[in-house]
Structure 1
Amino acid sequence: MSATRRQILARTGALGAGIAFSGALSELFPGTATAAQDLAAQDLGHSGYGPLVPDPHGLLDLPKGFRYRVLSREGDPLRSGEGPVPSNHDGMTALPGRHGRVHLVRNHENRHNAALPVPTVEGLTYDPAGKGGCTALTLDPGNRVLAERVAIAGTAVNCAGGPTPWHTWLTCEENEDKAGTNGYTKDHGFIFEVDPSDPRRTGAVPLTAMGRFQHEAIAVDPHLGIVYETEDAFLKPFGLFYRFLPEKPLGGVGSLRAGGRLQAMRVPGVPDLSSVQETGTSFEGVEWVDVPDPLAAGTPIRLQDFGRKGVTHAQKLEGCYWGGRCVYFVSSFARGAEGSAADHFGQIWRYDPARRRLTLVIVFGPDTDVQLPGESPDNICLAPSGGLMVCEDGNGAQHVYGVTRGGEVYAMARGRQNIGTPEQPEWGEFAGVAFSPDGRTMYVNCYTPGTTFAVTGPWRR
């Protein structure tokens, strides 16, 4: 949780600072919008769904016509009776269940000293010393909580991840501590598969062939089954962009345990992606180099010897998602003072596997005062309107912002839970925004105090 995460649109809209987009905004929504969604996006215009209405209960401000339900709060008892709801609500997905039910899988980005760890459960715990993991909520069609339980425990710093085509969640450890560090009894830095409908089907088995490093997010190619992975390393040497070639592609629950080959991206002549500044710049003939030691037994992967040509690094690789026939990934920022080749406020890259072509499609930046946190894109959630929802993580008031397909920015929600003092208020950032399979509900977490909301209203207005 660095100070700049999810600051893509902070202080835009209501506070007057703009966000500058360089590149085609349509790149963010490849193959996702219908004609009705395009019309909805145009209708939203600059004001979105209208001004935010103060919440009399002091939890969440929303536009008129929208309402929220609190699904879960940290410290309350889990409905399974396994212990209290853990803290630090982070990445999340919403997966379809039977009879219109929805399965939410929620990460808990707990470090070794977390006050409210994920409770250890026999058969679902990787390392008893790990405080992170996931919880799973089952909701009925009216967003009433039917069940809430531990889905995996004993992991560390579960930040983001991604859904699979077979409706499981790959939760990622943004941590690479080895056994004996911070009290851990096992090595960390792995991906774990979580089946929310039956967590014991997946258990607590690290997918070791997918690498041990500071994982952030993943995206699965639904045609070939290749899994793309980002590494969130903001200190030099910076992270890599990986692909995992599974032995059993698209094999369903548990198939990733069969292993595969981990590779890192090499863009010929480009050792650092931050050196590229012009949107539309493309590189042909992208190469993929086998990782010498995916378990990083002696040396972190990003420091390993990839040969004379090396591999391509980038600072703060975060969000990752599949669109059309390409994978998109985010570099949240780059700072020359920290070792990057050049500065930027956020980039989105598109990799076309069929053409082996990498293209810089979007560059972010504030169009007013650069000291305002209008920067650092992170995870991206596609919205029913055909646009985006983005969680804010900066200073001051915290928002969920929307971006229309036309590039207009609007405030969708504002957090009201003051974790500071009346004299110096402070609000926890949002995380894990996701929509129900039918597009009628937005689910979002407040990181601190850990709170999961279901937001309903005229999404397709």
Structure 2
Amino acid sequence: MERRTFMRAGVLAAGTAAVSGSLMRGALAAPAQIGTGPYGALLAADANGIRLPSGFTSQVVARSGQAVPGTSYVWHSAPDGGACFADGSGWIYVSNSEVSGSAGGGASMIRFDSGGTPTAASRILSGTNNNCAGGKTPWNTWLSCEEVGLGRVWETYPFGGSAAARPAMGRFKHEAAAADPVRQVIYLTEDETDGRFYRFVPATWGNLSSGTLQVLVAGSGTSGSFGWATVPDPDGSPTATRNQVAGSKSFNGGEGCWYADDTVWITTKGDNRVWQFDLGASTFELAYDDGLVTGGTAPLTGVDNITGSSYGDLYVAEDGGNMEINVITPDDRVAPFLRVTGQGSSELCGPAFNPAGNRLYFSSQRGTSGSSSGGITYCVTGPFRT
């Protein structure tokens, strides 16, 4: 059954907005292959240097070191992982800052009205280190993850409140997080060449101050069954969390993480793969592998952050490659959705849809300058299928 069929059922059952979405579980016969994108070929670069399909437009939302238009708040350096939250008739976009605490690391938010115009912006986390990716929770907090040795997960409050470290979620080189409200767990990726895939089981759902950290246990292949085992010492010292459980499966550079409708996807940058975990069946397989693409040059390389649409499409940003965001469709085809030109020393990150699903936010971490102070956050508007 195609992913879209599962997704529709999930959205109707949950009654959620498009952005919180429910991608569906797919039964892949093989990893995604080259196909025609759902919106057609990319046109010439627009005034912002972005190649988009017909009917789509881009705008600059914020630039590092400059005030967000309509506000007095100066946007942070090196914008990275992000997410959107419904806010009345408008929404909030949050973004991490992947620099050290002394250089302004942490996270910020921008509030938009119903027309997509910024009305406010502010800092929601300060003084932390290399906040790369993260994930939103069903209770409207943003988990901002430190990509450093013995890094922490910080729970932040886009609607107001003081950020708090959540050490029970493990001390390791954190990347992304994704909430599973069915099993009441948070999935976590680790950006090491021999990183692991974890889940955190809170003692009480909605409260991340205590709970159990577990690691995925499976064979060394690219498909099969999996289970979970408790990590004895989540503090990761003196023994790293990834080395504490025999039989835990290693992943080459864990990056993005996305959950929807009994499925979780993760990306691994070291081998340009997207992995798919069927949580109901406790099986895993490859949703994409650039080394298994036939019939042409693999369109997606440098896989990084990942998000999904209400239709069931996966959007994967590149750290390198052709500076593209690629789409993997429910019928397992992969194609470029957009390409940023003239920014070869940057990376794309933080893709997230607004609640209506007609705007896609993302950042170029180092922009045209190639420096963390040159980051640019964009919004693409158009006829996304929903």
The answer to whether the aligner puts 1:232 opposite 2:205 as a matched pair is no
Determine the structure 2 residue equivalent to 1:387.
313
Pairing of 1:116-195 with structure 2 (within 5 A): 129=102, 131-176=104-149, 189-195=151-157
Q: Specify the code of the residue in structure 2 equivalent to 1:401.
A: N
Structure 1: gaps of 5 or more residues: 1-23, 39-44, 113-127, 177-187, 335-344, 420-425
The answer to whether the aligner puts 1:451 opposite 2:369 as a matched pair is no
CA distance in 2, matches of 1:71, 1:31: 34
Determine the structure 1 residue equivalent to 2:6.
31
Determine the structure 1 residue equivalent to 2:15.
none
Once the 2 structures are TM-superposed, how far is the Cα of residue 393 of structure 1 from its aligned partner? 2.3
Determine the structure 2 residue equivalent to 1:248.
204
Of 200, 217, 222, the match for 2:181: 222
The answer to whether the aligner puts 1:54 opposite 2:47 as a matched pair is no
The answer to whether the aligner puts 1:318 opposite 2:255 as a matched pair is yes
CA distance in 2, matches of 1:149, 1:106: 11
Structure 2: gaps of 5 or more residues: 12-17, 24-34, 368-374
Of 38, 43, 55, the match for 1:65: 55
Determine which structure has more spread, i.e. the larger CA radius of gyration. 1
TM-score (structure 1 length as normaliser)? 0.69
CA distance in 2, matches of 1:321, 1:451: 23
Report SS of the residue matched to 1:256: strand
Of 271, 275, 280, the match for 1:348: 275
Once the 2 structures are TM-superposed, how far is the Cα of residue 80 of structure 1 from its aligned partner? 6.0
Tell me if the contact between 2:275 and 2:285 (Cα under 8 Å) persists in the aligned partners: yes
Tell me if the contact between 1:80 and 1:149 (Cα under 8 Å) persists in the aligned partners: no
Determine the structure 2 residue equivalent to 1:18.
none
Tell me if the contact between 1:130 and 1:155 (Cα under 8 Å) persists in the aligned partners: no
Once the 2 structures are TM-superposed, how far is the Cα of residue 283 of structure 1 from its aligned partner? 2.1
Tell me if the contact between 1:95 and 1:102 (Cα under 8 Å) persists in the aligned partners: yes
Q: Specify the code of the residue in structure 1 equivalent to 2:173.
A: Q
CA distance in 2, matches of 1:224, 1:371: 39
Once the 2 structures are TM-superposed, how far is the Cα of residue 136 of structure 1 from its aligned partner? 0.3
Q: Specify the code of the residue in structure 1 equivalent to 2:112.
A: L
Question: 1:113-155: per-residue Cα shift (whole Å, max 9, x none)?
Answer: xxxxxxxxxxxxxxx6363111100001111000111110111
Q: Specify the code of the residue in structure 2 equivalent to 1:455.
A: V
Q: Specify the code of the residue in structure 1 equivalent to 2:217.
A: R
Q: Specify the code of the residue in structure 1 equivalent to 2:79.
A: H
Of 253, 260, 265, the match for 2:211: 260
Once the 2 structures are TM-superposed, how far is the Cα of residue 161 of structure 1 from its aligned partner? 1.0
CA, structure 1 residues 93+349, in 2 after alignment: closer, same or farther (shift >3 Å)?
A: same
CA, structure 1 residues 157+407, in 2 after alignment: closer, same or farther (shift >3 Å)?
A: same
Report SS of the residue matched to 2:242: helix
The answer to whether the aligner puts 1:293 opposite 2:230 as a matched pair is no
RMSD: 3.0
Once the 2 structures are TM-superposed, how far is the Cα of residue 448 of structure 1 from its aligned partner? 1.5
CA, structure 1 residues 295+97, in 2 after alignment: closer, same or farther (shift >3 Å)?
A: same
Question: 1:69-112: per-residue Cα shift (whole Å, max 9, x none)?
Answer: 22111110256645x322211111011012x11110101111x3
Pairing of 1:39-118 with structure 2 (within 5 A): 46=36, 48-55=38-45, 57-78=47-68, 81=72, 84-98=74-88, 100-110=89-99, 112=100
Q: Specify the code of the residue in structure 1 equivalent to 2:355.
A: P
Deviation beyond 6 Å, 4+ runs, structure 1: 369-373
TM-score (structure 2 length as normaliser)? 0.82
